[in-house]
Amino acid sequence: MEDIDKAARLALGHPMGPFEVADMVGLDYRARVLRGLFNSYKDIKWRPSMLLEQLVESGDLGKKSGKGWYDYSSGEKKPRGDVKF
């Protein structure tokens, strides 16, 4: 996750990586959009991952809740040791 975000910033010149963006927007919103795309197109590439669904169910919604793909509870973005792919 951190490597993907870093690659997006350094290699592609993006200001933020995809996991950082998802945390900023909200994982609940991201999951809802993916569910809508999956239901519309019936293509597995749009189905939200089980890990994303688990984070949303546990209330880890990103910056707005203090935890998402990263941990923001200290006021800084820190990697979460308990989120593994």
Above 90 in pLDDT, residue 85?
no
- Per-residue pLDDT, 16: 97
* Residue 52 Cα distances to 12, 58, 70, 75, angstroms: 24, 10, 12, 22
Yes or no: say if 17 and 5 are a contact pair by the CB < 8 Å rule: yes
Q: What is the mean pLDDT of residues 23-45?
A: 98
User: Does any domain span residue 75?
Assistant: yes
pTM for this entry: 0.92
Report the 10 Å Cβ neighbour count for 54.
11
Q: What mean pLDDT value characterizes the chain?
A: 97
Based on the structure, what is the number of domains in the chain? 1
Q: Is the CA virtual torsion 3, 9, 12, 18 positive or negative? A: positive
Q: What is the mean pLDDT of residues 19-40?
A: 98
pLDDT tens for residues 59-68?
Answer: 999 999 999 9
For residue 73, give its domain range.
2-79
**83 DSSP 8-state letter:** -
- The CATH code of the domain that includes 24 is 1.10.1040.10
